[in-house]
Amino acid sequence: MGYNTSSAALAYDMNAMPAYRETPQAPVAPREQRTPRFDVYTGAGRQANQAVSPVFMSVLKTFCIIAAIFMTIGIARVALAGVTAQVLNSNAELTNTLEKATDESSDLEVMHSVYGADTRIRDLAGAYGMVEPSESVTLDFSQDAAAGANATATAQ
Q: What are the tens digits of pLDDT across the range 10-50? A: 566 556 555 555 666 777 777 777 777 777 777 666 665 66
Which residue in 141, 123, 143, 140 sits closest to 131, CA to CA?
123
pLDDT at 66 over 60: yes
pLDDT at 33: 72
> Is residue 93 predicted with pLDDT exceeding 90?
yes
- What is the full DSSP assignment across 57-74? HHHHHHHHHHHHHHHHHH
Q: Is the pLDDT of residue 3 over 60?
A: no
Mean pLDDT score of the chain: 80
Q: What is the pLDDT of residue 135?
A: 86
Percent above pLDDT 70 for the chain: 71
Considering the entire predicted model, what is its pTM? Answer: 0.40
Would you state the pLDDT for residue 38?
75
Pick the residue with more confidence: 119 or 79? 79
Query: What is the per-residue pLDDT for 123?
Result: 87
The DSSP secondary-structure symbol of 45 reads G
Rounded CA separation 62/56 (Å): 10
